[in-house]
Each structure stands twice: as C-alpha cells, then as structure tokens.
Amino acid sequence: MSSMNAKNPPPAPGRKPRADGLESRRAILHAAAHLATTRGLEGLSIGELAQHIGMSKSGLFAHFKSKEELELATIETAADIFERHVIAPACQSPGGLKRLMALGDAFLNHLERRVFPGGCFFAGASMQLAARPGRARDRVMDLQRVWQGLFVEAVREAVAAGELPATVDVEQLVFEVTAMLVRANVGWILTGDAAALGQARTGIRHTLERAAGKAGHPRAGNRAGDMKRGRAH
C-alpha cells in the first residue's frame, strides 16, 4: 500500500540538531498544519504562527528561512497526520470493496473527530493552491494523486476478486466515490452537522451497490446485500 508521505531524505552530515530543537520544530509544524485548515496556507505567515504558539518571530524564523519552506514543511506534517488517522486504519481492512469502504469511512471519521479543525487539510490546500504554481502546489497535487490511487487500486482489486464486473469504469467509479467525500467535507465545515457525513456513507454504499449490479453480475446480489448490512466495512 502506497504511503501519502515519502520518506524524508537523511540529514546532511555535520552537527546533529538538538533534541529540544527538533521537538520545537515538530510542535511548530503541528500547530501550522492545524492553523492552515482555518487560515489557509497562504494566510500562514511566520509572524502570525509565532504569535499563535507564543514564540518570538525571530525564534520561529530560525527554523524556517522562508514562507515557502514553512509551507512545504507544513504539507509534509499534514501528510504524516493524514497517514496515521486515515490511511493506516483503512489499510487494516482486506482489499477490494472492503478496502474501498474503509477508505471512505476513515476519511469521514477523521472529519468527525476534527483531526484538523477546518476539515480536510488537502481538500482546502488543493483549492488554495490550484492557481498558484510552485513547489507547494506540486507537492499537494502529488499527494492527492496518491490518495486517488488508493481508491483505484481498491476498485481494481474488487474487479479481480469478482466483487465488481470487469466492465466497470474504474476512473468514473472512483470519481463518484471521492466526489461524495469532498461534498461531505464542505457540508461538515459549513454546518457541523453529522448528517452530511451520513449522507456520504449512504451515497457511497448505493454507488457501489449499483456498480456491483451492472450487467447482471452473478455476485452482485450477495455483494450488494453485504454492503447494505454493513459487512463490507
């Protein structure tokens, strides 16, 4: 299973960073990842972040020499958080339709638990950076491709296992499922009403039931019933 966050390169040879310096950097980036979901990456300035965490601007500047460096490090921290709270739990499930449902559930659960206070970090960052070419945009787009790839892989596994017909349009099915996750994220941010999350779960289940029933697929009836009863989670 692919990870959203690639391994960081080894540090350059030389004096090792102090443990307290590393801990301070982690605390800064954790705060930055959370703050970015309510203020936006573009609104995340070194001065504002320093004020938010109670550190001097010069002290924070010692960790990040530029706005771009801060943005890139914040994106990597958000990817680590997303990996722990969404991808890793979903990867505990078997492949195929169960993995597909688990990915959706894990995403919706991380919204409901407010892992990030302003909803999905990457949904917000994608919108903010879409018209702003640069390294931060490229990295967010790379991570989004990995996320989409997890769904594509699960659908293909479902086809190989006979859970979905070979005629299923993989890209279209992934588009429909992930679109409901994006819509749930918006509804949750705007209203705080968990009904939006429940609607997404129901919509995904119905979409997969329809896909499994295409062309009179011989296993469609049993598989659709399993999903309806929640056994595909």
pLDDT of residue 214: 57
- Cα(36)–Cα(161) distance, integer angstroms: 41
- Cα(167)–Cα(22) distance, integer angstroms: 51
Domain residue ranges of the chain, discontinuous segments joined by + = 72-228
Q: pLDDT, tens digit, for every residue of 41-80?
A: 887 877 778 788 888 777 777 788 788 898 999 999 999 9
> Architecture of 72-228 per CATH?
Orthogonal Bundle (1.10)
pLDDT higher than 70, residue 17 = no
pLDDT of residue 218: 45
Helices 67-82, 46-53: crossing angle, 10 deg rounding: 50
Q: pLDDT, tens digit, for every residue of 78-131?
A: 999 999 999 999 999 999 999 999 999 999 999 999 999 999 999 999 999 998
Label residue 224 by pLDDT band (50, 70, 90): very low
- Cα(233)–Cα(227) distance, integer angstroms: 8
Provide mean pLDDT across the span 25-49: 87
- Cα(108)–Cα(233) distance, integer angstroms: 13
Weakest-pLDDT range from 30-34, 61-65, 151-155: 61-65
Residue 34 burial (C-beta neighbours within 10 Å; 0-12, 13-18, 19+): buried
- Cα(143)–Cα(79) distance, integer angstroms: 8
**pTM above the 0.85 mark?**
no
pLDDT of residue 220: 42
Neighbours of 97 (CB within 10 A): 24
Average pLDDT, the chain: 85
pLDDT of residue 52: 80
